[in-house]
């Protein structure tokens, strides 16, 4: 009997199985094309295992509101074919096992909480800084959801005094994602982040926005650990800059764990989400 996990990303799906715990016993990676095509490969992988339950961490926005008619669907995504696709329904129809259903970043937060950087802590926030910015959290042992799932990447930020870039979020222009995700770096500076590695000012501005976000999350959630992943965080020089700016902005107003260890890269690397999905599967009841 196996637990199944699906990390459903906009670029690729990662499917995995385990007989318990966080260890991945088999996995496959599938490019995200149409729902039909993608699920055909997902089913091919899982059909050869007897499943106990499934955990799914999906790109969003998704409907996590159990009272809603579209619970279990991906909602208003611009991705062709996936808008209001009943993802969870398809999985339940095929396997008829208990499932856990949350965002990819909540799954990552849960993976790091149970088996990674936050393993010894009571709470954490996981932030991915890539093509977009998305955040998940674990509070009181559970992934954080309310009327819907968090959209922490779209919080409002104060503009860096030297930053003239107008922002590229179609909803909010200069929200966090609009100012600090990979495409914003590229548009502001005319090159992708990996080619700007040596330009100090780029990372000072980036750290300013990300530190602001961590300050807001701290004052609202008081998490014990911040795990920062995604393509942009491959610029590891960001970590000390973010920690320094975080301390400056918070100005010792509240106690936090030491920012040197509190603000960190994922211990599970790219396996955070799929590990979280396996662990959520193991707890799935319906």
Ligand X SMILES: Nc1ncnc2c1ncn2[C@@H]1O[C@H](COP(=O)(O)OP(=O)(O)O)[C@@H](O)[C@H]1O
Q: Which of 80, 171, 198, 286 binds Zn ion (CB under 5 A)?
A: 171
CA–CA dist 58, 60 (Å, integer):
6
CA–CA dist 94, 4 (Å, integer):
13
Minimum CB separation of residue 266 from a copy of itself in Å reads: 19
- Beta strand pairing call for 51-58 and 99-103: parallel
Minimum CB separation of residue 147 from Zn ion in Å reads: 18
Of 24 and 139, nearer to a copy of itself (C-beta) is: 139
- Applying CB under 5 A, the site for Zn ion has a residue count of 6
Cis peptide bond prior to 61, omega within 30° of 0: yes
- Beta strand pairing call for 133-139 and 124-129: antiparallel
Q: Which of 135, 182, 223, 276 binds ligand X (CB under 6 A)?
A: 182
Tell me, what DSSP letter sits at residue 237?
T
Query: Burial letters for 249-264: b for 16+ Cβ neighbours within 10 Å, e otherwise?
Result: bbeeeeebeebeebbb
Residue 232 as a binder of ligand X (CB under 6 A): the answer is yes
Minimum CB separation of residue 184 from ligand X in Å reads: 9
In the complex, the residues that contact a copy of itself under the rule CB under 8 A are: 61, 122-123, 135, 139-140, 142, 144-152, 154-156, 158, 171-172, 212, 215-217, 219-224, 249, 251-257
Q: Residue 144's binding partner, choosing from ligand X, a copy of itself, Zn ion, none, with beta-carbon cut-off 5 to 8 A by kind?
A: a copy of itself
Site stretch for Zn ion (CB under 5 A), options 85-93, 115-123, 148-156, 194-202:
148-156
**Pick from 272, 248, 247, 275: which is nearest to 259 by CA?**
247
Minimum CB separation of residue 261 from a copy of itself in Å reads: 13
Q: In the range 79-138, which residues lie near ligand X by CB under 6 A?
A: 130-131
Minimum CB separation of residue 181 from Zn ion in Å reads: 9
Q: What share of the chain is helix, strand, coil (3-state, %, to 5)?
A: 40, 20, 40
**Pick from 267, 184, 186, 200: which is nearest to 238 by CA?**
200
Q: Residue 219's binding partner, choosing from a copy of itself, ligand X, Zn ion, none, with beta-carbon cut-off 5 to 8 A by kind?
A: a copy of itself
CA–CA dist 133, 230 (Å, integer):
9
Minimum CB separation of residue 82 from ligand X in Å reads: 15
Burial of 225 (C-beta count, 10 Å sphere; 0-12/13-18/19+):
buried
Q: Which of 55, 116, 135, 230 binds ligand X (CB under 6 A)?
A: 230
CA–CA dist 62, 256 (Å, integer):
32
What residues does 3 pair with on adjacent strands? 18, 53
Of 151 and 283, nearer to ligand X (C-beta) is: 151
Q: Which of 25, 47, 119, 194 binds ligand X (CB under 6 A)?
A: 194
Residue numbers at the binding site for Zn ion (CB under 5 A): 154, 169, 171-172, 175, 177
Residue numbers at the binding site for ligand X (CB under 6 A): 9, 11, 130-131, 182-183, 186, 192-194, 230-232, 234-235
């Amino acid at each position: 009997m196996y637990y199944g996990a699906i990390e459903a990303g906009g670029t690729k799906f990662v499917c995995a199985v385990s007989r318990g715990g966080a260890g991945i016993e088999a996995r496959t990676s599938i490019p995200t094309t149409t729902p039909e095509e993608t699920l055909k490969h997902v089913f091919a992988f899982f059909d050869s295992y007897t499943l106990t339950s499934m955990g799914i961490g999906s790109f969003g926005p998704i409907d996590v509101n159990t009272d809603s008619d579209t619970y279990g669907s991906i909602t208003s995504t611009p991705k062709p074919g996936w808008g209001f696709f009943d993802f969870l329904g398809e999985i339940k129809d095929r396997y008829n096992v208990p499932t856990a259903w949350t965002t990819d970043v909540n799954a990552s937060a849960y993976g790091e909480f149970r088996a990674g950087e936050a393993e010894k802590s009571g709470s954490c926030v996981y932030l991915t800084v890539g093509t977009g910015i998305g955040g998940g959290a674990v509070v009181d042992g559970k992934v954080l959801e309310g009327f819907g799932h968090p959209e922490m990447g779209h919080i409002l930020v104060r503009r860096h005094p030297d930053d003239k870039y107008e922002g590229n979020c179609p909803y909010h222009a200069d929200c966090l994602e609009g100012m600090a995700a990979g495409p914003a770096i590229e548009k502001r500076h005319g090159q992708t982040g990996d080619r700007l590695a040596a330009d100090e000012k780029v990372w000072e501005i980036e750290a300013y926005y990300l530190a602001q976000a961590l300050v807001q999350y701290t004052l609202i959630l008081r998490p014990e650990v911040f795990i920062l992943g995604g393509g942009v965080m491959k610029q590891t020089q960001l970590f000390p800059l973010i920690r320094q700016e975080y301390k400056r902005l918070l100005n010792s107003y509240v106690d936090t764990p030491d920012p040197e260890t509190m603000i960190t890269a994922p211990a599970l690397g790219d396996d955070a989400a799929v590990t979280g999905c396996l662990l959520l599967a193991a707890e799935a009841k319906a």
